[in-house]
Amino acid sequence: MRVVIVGAGVVGMTTAWRLAEDGHEVTVLERHNGPGEETSFANGGQLSYSYVAPLAGPGVMSKVPGWLLRRDSPMRFRPAADPAQWRWLAAFMGACNTATSEATTRKLLRLGFYSRDLMQAFVEQHHHDNGGAGFDFARRGKLVVHRDAQAFASACRLLDYQASLGCEQQALDRDACVALEPALAGIRGDIAGAIYTPSEEVGDCHRFCVSLARLLQDDARRPGVSMRFGTSVQGLVQQGGRVTSVRTATGVVPADVVVVAGGIGSVPLLRPLGVRPMLWPLKGYSITVPIASGARAPHISVTDFANKIVYARIGNTLRVAGMADLVSGGTRIDPERVGTLVAQTRALFDGIVPDLPLAQLQPWAGLRPATPDGLPLVGPSRVSGLWLNLGHGALGFTLAMGSAGLLADRLAGRRPAIDAGDFDAARA
């Protein structure tokens, strides 16, 4: 089958990988000059399979007023004269209840565990011929650090619930937390406790995309794979009610199936076909801190729960990422938001951030396309020949392999490894 994939971020590239494995003729179209150069470029780096609870949770709405008043808040909202933003917010608020959040968490955990299995199989297969799979992949474990006793108690209750769904986690007091990760010694007195998940992993998402592209292009067993970078998609072509090709700036690319995996940029592309996925970009930021010799940098991935900032050691750097800004304005970097990441990192890990110009910390901003309830759209749309793989929010790297596997199973007519109805793309 001729499959054209729009978008070469981590979701598009994993989709290409899985479909090529099934023997399809795959063409990837990407406006950038290489894979993973937008939202996937400098994300948090954590493959966090056991921490997939949606942003829409029962306690979120009570925190929003306080967040909106703080300049360094983990969430920022700027209203726009855009009905789509208000529809998304209304649906988001409707999902902020215990029943919806728990149901979504169960579904995302199944997808996350499936993704973990596929990622580990990929790394095992390609470790030797691709230098550790080529993207600084490592199983480092993860500590979610709580400073508030009430929040930690709530996390401990959630631990029991997640254990029933297959998560293997431990609750640690402050001494056990610092013993496990000595880099946290500077805030020992502030720690109420932490949840430790030893199975969590890290990697460089951009380099993962590059590795997939290289493997797909170099493997003689996949002569039907084509990567067209620097190619702007202008529209999807329908004939007889079916999508039959993709129109680009350099010509028309025919297809039996088109998979749209272009993140938030997919919304205007799909609109002329009457497909309107309820997506809104959660703007996130990161810095990448070089780890100097002798610096007390964390080896285990750390999440500062109160500030919603993640820290992942990727090779000889520390990736620091956070924020969920519901704003317009694209990927322009807000120096104040990046400054918050620098300040929070210095407060958590004394001496880790060198006195360098901000540009040398590689500040980055990306638009993470999120559905209101946190469930991505994976599979065939309501339009014949058009498939979607969209809406992963801040979990794109974590869920990409599983989403690609789910889509590939459905396209091949195989029984999916998990319930495909949980991520029905026809609801768009």
Range with the poorest average pLDDT among 19-33, 51-65, 81-95, 159-173: 51-65
* Distance from C-alpha of 150 to C-alpha of 212, rounded to nearest angstrom: 43
What CA–CA distance (Å, rounded) separates 400 from 408? 12
Report domain extents, the chain.
63-96+137-200+280-370
CA distance 399 to 428: 19
Q: What is the pLDDT of residue 44?
A: 96
CA of residue 358 relative to chain centroid, distance: 25
Two structure tokens written together for 132: 């550790």
pLDDT tens for residues 311-369?
999 999 999 999 999 877 789 999 999 999 999 999 999 888 888 888 889 999 999 99
Q: Quick check: 232 and 249 in contact, CB under 8 A?
A: yes
Calculated CA dihedral for residues 35, 399, 331, 346, nearest 10 degrees: -110
Find out whether 40 and 209 touch, Cβ atoms under 8 Å: yes
Q: Is residue 174 helix, strand or coil? A: helix
Average of per-residue pLDDT across 105-128: 92
Specify the DSSP class assigned to residue 222: -
The DSSP result for 121-142, as a single string, is HHHHHHTTTTTGGGTT-EE--E
Per-residue model confidence (pLDDT) at position 132:
45
Q: CB under 8 Å to 135, separation ≥6 — which residues?
A: 203, 204, 205, 207, 208, 210, 211
Q: What is the DSSP letter of 81?
A: S
DSSP 373-395: TS--EEEE-SSBTEEEEE-BGGG
Q: Find the distance separating the first CA and the last CA of the chain, reported in whole Å.
A: 24
Distance separating alpha carbons of residues 397 and 81, to the nearest angstrom: 31
Domain 63-96+137-200+280-370 sits in CATH at 3.30.9.10
Q: Which two tokens stand for residue 195?
A: 């949840």
Q: Does the structure show a pLDDT above 70 at 388?
A: yes
H or E segment to which residue 282 belongs: strand 280-290
Q: What percent of the chain has pLDDT over 90?
A: 79
Amino acid at 313: R
pLDDT tier for residue 146 given thresholds of 50, 70 and 90? very high
Q: Give the burial string for 186-207 (b: 16+ CB within 10 Å, else e).
A: bbeeebbbbbbbebbbbbbbbb
What mean pLDDT value characterizes the chain?
92
220-261 pLDDT per residue, tens: 556 789 999 999 999 999 999 999 999 999 999 999 999 999
Q: Where are the alpha helices (DSSP H) in 96-136?
A: 98-126
The distance of Cα 80 from the centroid of its chain, to the nearest Å, equals 25
Whole-angstrom Cα distance, residue 324 to residue 133?
Answer: 30
- Element (DSSP H or E) covering residue 396: helix 396-412
- Whole-model pTM: value is 0.95
Please check whether residue 281 is in contact with residue 367, taking contact to mean a CB–CB distance below 8 angstroms.
yes
